Structure 1
Amino acid sequence: MGKNKRSTSRLLSKLASFHAKYIDTNLTKWALGLDILHLCLPSKTLRGAPIESILKILITSIHFSIELITGYDTNPTPHIGDENAHHTAMLFGFFLGAWIEILVHFKVPFPKGTTQVMGFLAFTIEGLMMVFHLHARNMVDAHIHQLLGITIVCSMIGALGECYNPNSFWLIVSRSYFTLIQATWLIQAAYVLWPKTTNPLFLWDPESHRSVSLLTMSFAYHLSGDAFILIMIYLFVYKFFSANVRINNDDQGDNEELAAGYKLILNLNEEDSCIQ
């Protein structure tokens, strides 16, 4: 009788261990197998849509509307302010490029590399407008725009490189990096040029060499901070999707589809991703 109890107990223990292991494995597989794209865009039609291009059109359209509304003046005759017109022209290349991307997405027969060329053109237009956007500005204002101009030129170089090698990991990252710097630097520029406080600790002397020096130092921290942000994003994406590929090794079709979408990050094809 005691022997049967021990055998039954041992069998139940093995079953419990197997059950726990099975549940743990499948929960892990489910967690790592979550398709973020499917969660965010449950509709197959939405997943196949050029979401990034649509967002660029939406954002630039909102920007155009703001510039037209705030820059409109009727004195002496109806017109748009010069600065507002400049800001609108700066982003028009991105607006046009987004429409070209949508046409390419729907198989309009453009030459190969058209989207990359349009990206380079967009940064070129932005840089051109920036060069002639510095007239009659104080020292701090001009320095902010000069640093922004340097960033735009770097974005142009990355975009130009992509025209010749669109699958280069480092060219894609460099363009994204300098575009991110433009964004974070513009946020700081807004607080420097149009402070929302009267606290002297947060007010900049517009004609001070010390202010220029501090701004340059701030820009250096933007370079480091934005690099850190991209590194964290890269590590997260690499860790998540490489784990996803490993845990789903029983479904080769899903693995190949996932790897195809993230081959530059997962480094599964060094020749295509150009990672040395």
Structure 2
Amino acid sequence: MQKTTITDLLEAGVHFGHQTKRWNPKMKPYIYGTRNGITIFDLTVTMRHLAGACEFLRDTVAAGGSVLFVGAKRQAQEVVREAAEGCGMFFMCDRWLGGTLTNQRVVLSRISYLKKLQEMETDGSFAALPKKEVAGLRREREKLEQTLRGIADMKGLPAAMIVVDVGREAIAVREAAKLGIPVVALVDSNCDPTDIDFPVPGNDDALRAIKVVIDTLADAIREGGSLHAKSAPQAAAVPAAASAGREDDAEAEDSAEAADEAVEAKA
């Protein structure tokens, strides 16, 4: 995995924040200064926070946890989807469906309905329905696919969440905080980092800036996935070894009992 450098962040424009009049004072620890009325991030601080976020994600996935990517703003949608799919994780890049985390029963029912519509499309059920009704069902299916496609196979809650633009995705952040799900987020100068467990200070508006940060986080997730895959066979081998040990112990006990019986018989 190629390591991201400060030069990479600089070339992508990660250091550019919003106009100074829009800055949030809680972002002060991450700010280097201003230039032409624009807030400038301290990229040495950004690098340190990015490294910490990567370490957390790598360890989380290595332990078997899943990650949910969230980013519905236009610049982030494709980056989020491609990154999540590339590392085998879940995503929501259309709009956040309220209750995705805190009311999973409702979300699962919508996913179930989506799968039913998809089955009706493929098994020929639509052929028996009026054209107008079929058109309506197809529109509904397309809308659900757009919203739920990235979480259709998500079982249970994710172990972590990655967010682009915590202001826009405030509901998602609140749901994660309520459930104690750690949040990694690209946090711009106009945002409040209070509820973010692993803030990565930087530009959340420019496509290149979003991509360099999200791709770096995705690389850490892939690394964690590789570690998990390597540890799984070892974990499976432990019970087998323990079982073999128990069988050896049982055989030893049987041999000992037989020896005792032989001694008693001689006596």
TM-score of the two chains, using structure 1 as the length reference: 0.26
Point out which structure has higher relative CO (alpha carbons under 8 A, 6+ apart): 2
- Structure (1/2) with the larger strand percentage: 2
- Structure (1/2) with the larger helix percentage: 1
TM-score of the two chains, using structure 2 as the length reference: 0.26
